[in-house]
Amino acid sequence: MSHEDFELVRGSRNGFHHSGRQNGDVERLRAILAAQVSQALEEWGLTQAKAERLTGIAAADFSRIRRGHLGRFTIDRLIAILNRLNRKVDVRVTVHSSS
């Protein structure tokens, strides 16, 4: 294989847009928040059952988050879960032209 077999494509750092998803920005933010939930559980050494007892959030929800099944989760719900895990979320928004 030579270097001519490859094409360089510059992206937006958001793979969700490049995969053709309509709400790429929302999906990317949900993925970032879900990763932070998983990280908090790991740092605290919490099982899903222990996290449920600590936060009141269903263990099944923590399972879905860890597996990346985020369809049921809104951004505000993920932030609320992080708050219950003693995490403060600071959001900064930058809006760009889509052209």
Q: What is the pLDDT of residues 4-46, one digit of tens each?
A: 565 545 555 555 444 555 678 899 999 999 999 999 999 999 9
Domains of the chain, residue spans:
16-84
CA-closest candidate to residue 21, choices 81, 71, 73: 71
Which residues touch 92 (CB under 8 Å, ≥6 apart)?
A: none
What pLDDT is recorded for position 21? Answer: 56
Tell me what pLDDT residue 16 has: 47
Residue 51's CB is within 10 A of a number of other CB atoms, namely 24
Instruction: Answer whether residue 48 shows pLDDT above 80.
Output: yes
CATH number of 16-84: 1.10.260
Two structure tokens written together for 32? 């970032």
